[in-house]
Structure 1
Amino acid sequence: MSAALDLTFSGVDGRTVLTRRRYRWPLLIGRVFPDPQRPAVGSVTIQNAAGTVIPGDSVMQRLTVVDGGDAVVRGQGATTVSGTFSGAPAFEQTAVRVDSTSRLLLDAAPRILTPHAHYRQHTGVCVAPGGQAVLVDAVVLHPELTDDVFGSYRSDVEITAPDGSLLALDAQRLDSMPRVRRAPTSFATVYLVGAGLDTALTALTPELEALSVLTGDRCVYVGVSDLPNDAGWAVRIAAADGGALRTTLGAVTAAITENTVAVQRL
């Protein structure tokens, strides 16, 4: 399967630039923008020309950061996953590789599940010792979803060592609507992949979990756990709606980025 997106970021003269840039429909990208506060950071936005993922889609992406690159890759905004009665699943596969001198923030757009949508996602992550990657995996249930028209959702994040050995496999499944009254309808996990950050993330955990809001109609639940084999950390978020989810995701990714950059500078 050929990749719809194949990007390589590299550090060149104190900046992060694209040294490999290949893409095809339905994905589009613009130029790399430097961060005004951190000039070494390069940011790019991935756009979906169709604005949706349709039944039978099979989209593969490759993202590589090397040679001291510090890349931020964001989605254009929430992307709907369309469905039809008895329609085939839509599949997205992302391969991420970060070398020992580099960093990546992959802030993928939340996928919005609509009636009859079946969605499968697989993200493979390999971060060499010394490198860091922060990845966002988010899904929102459309307000029109009911038990009768709910399809399915499956997301697998597989973290491997440079020698190919499996460090962690995180799998999430949804095959029906949440049964609990006033249950959250928007879910995300922020993965921090990389070794040597146990002290920083342990100290940061109370601040992240304090983002939980358990009253009113905009409830948010936040929990932090470490991944096996020292692969990294996972921040789980469950929110009442997509707006509350995005607000919390922004706070979580900002806190993680700020603290891990501070550790890297020591």
Structure 2
Amino acid sequence: MNEIINLSKIIQLMKREKWLLIGVIVVLVAGMFSYLQFVAVPVYQKSAQILISQNDNSKNANLEVQSVQADLQLVNTYSNIILSPRILSEVEEKLDGTYSSEALMEATTVTSKDNSQVIEINVQNKNAAKAAEIVNLTAQTFQKEIPKIMNVNNVTILSQADETSSDQPIKPNKALLLILTLLCGIVVDFLIMFMKLFFNRKFTDPEEIESLLGIHVLGVVSEFNDRAVKHSAERGRKRGQKYGNENTSHTD
């Protein structure tokens, strides 16, 4: 009857149920490892950078950036244009319809740092080379179409993605997931121990009986299992036979 859960009881339970606790962790970690190794699809990310010039040097330029705030507004506008159907539909055509505009929009993200005219285009795909191809086509298409859309020519491609397949996937993060699974296994073990201690309605030692019932324990009767009882009975039978033989000898 465990109304008080103390450290000693937890340690005793851990020693008694150590194989169960270890088994829970092993099963969870092995399950996650199997999922990551055989089921999870790795995702790669490729990036390209474009620069929005502060001033357009062409003769037909009609846009001048007068302040940092205007620069940021221009970058935000261009970021939205990159993800627009006007750009992505043309990228879809160049990819021979392998990916729809909706799929390209879902796989593409556009970011920019504060007070910077540099825009970074990121594309995620389960194939590293394909991700590089998509992001490069997106940057090139944007550079070609922006003069028609904004009537300016102030976009420069700073860097393009390398079309190689030797990159490491960005997700799933195997090391992080395995560590989290290990921690979850430890938490589950603690829950198992807590539930066992909380729902155990038996007295575990004489001190617990005295503290909860307020009575003194005079003695403790040890528990014998079937094997011990049989062994004791066998010894008694042999001893009885021995004494019986000795008595017979004396009588003779």
TM-score, length of structure 1 as denominator length: 0.25
| Structure possessing the higher relative contact order (Cα contacts under 8 Å, 6 or more residues apart) | 2
Structure 1 or 2: more strand by fraction: 1
TM-score, length of structure 2 as denominator length: 0.26
Q: Larger Rg: 1 or 2?
A: 2
